[in-house]
Amino acid sequence: MLYAVVMSSPLPPCPQPQEPLDAPRLLDVGPAAPEETNLRADAARNRARLLEAAARLIAEHGVAGVTMEAVATAAQVGKGTVFRRFGDRTGLLTALLDHSAARLQADFMSGPPPLGPGAAPLERLRAFGVAVLYRSAEQLDLQLAAQPEPCRRYSHPASGALRGHVMMLLRQIVPDDDSELLAHTLMAWLDPALIHHLHRQCGMPMERLETGWVDLVARVTRTEPPR
């Protein structure tokens, strides 16, 4: 009876978004002192050296071959250096994905259309999902190994940047809808674990997943899919 009462009650008004409608922007921390700049440059070089070693290990042995000790040996540094830089193996694997994520963010923030500015929001949303789908398919083992624990998965900055971009586009396409919840719905289709299940375990071709994304976008935005 309680369920029936709740389900028959009028829905609450859709919450209004608090975030600006602008595209997500990278943080600007301002200019640093010269000595701090030098320290940052040294740290960046050391970090890049460790990530290059980790990338070589993945190319040679797969994700399973990436351990903190193996990376330290390949980079000819102490294992403690790797732990201080990345915290743990998940932090290291996540850092490996950061460069790819930064390229994707640059593409949808300032790259050519339809992924970047200059195309209609609906076209950009379709292109975004296709780009993420194929990027995930190319990096599935790494993405699965680097996934943070469940309580941190949705708060990770990289996830927030992608979701924020989808929210921004949804606000332009369906301004009266709850763009935040709809963004979560769309991003769930792009989850690496789901792509792994559908593509590798079920054998679905990527073309089918791409068609599924375009269809889902049409249903969520109440628009016609492209012919």
Q: pLDDT tens digits, residue range 58-115?
A: 878 888 888 899 999 998 888 888 998 889 888 888 888 777 788 888 999 999 999 9
Counts for the chain of helices (H) and strands (E), in that order: 12, 0
Tell me the per-residue pLDDT of 188-222, one tens digit each, with 9 for 90 and over.
999 999 999 999 999 999 999 999 999 999 999 99
Say whether pTM exceeds 0.75.
Answer: no
Higher-pLDDT residue of 48, 16 = 48
Residues 167-194 have pLDDT tens digits of 999 999 999 999 999 999 999 999 999 9
Q: Name every residue whose Cβ is closer than 8 Å to that of residue 166 and which is 6 or more positions away in sequence.
A: 125, 128, 183, 186, 187
Of 6-10, 138-142, 161-165, 218-222, where does mean pLDDT reach its minimum? 6-10
Contacts 24+ apart (CB under 8 A), 183-190: 184/154, 185/220, 186/125, 186/129, 186/216, 186/217, 186/220, 187/159, 187/162, 187/163, 189/129, 189/213, 189/216, 190/129, 190/132, 190/133, 190/136, 190/162
Q: Where are the beta strands (DSSP E) in 125-227?
A: none
Instruction: Find the distance separating the first CA and the last CA of the chain, reported in whole Å.
Output: 46
Token pair belonging to 143: 């993405």
pLDDT tier at 37 (50, 70, 90 boundaries)? low
| Residue 146 vs residue 211, higher pLDDT | 211
Q: What is the mean pLDDT of residues 131-137?
A: 92
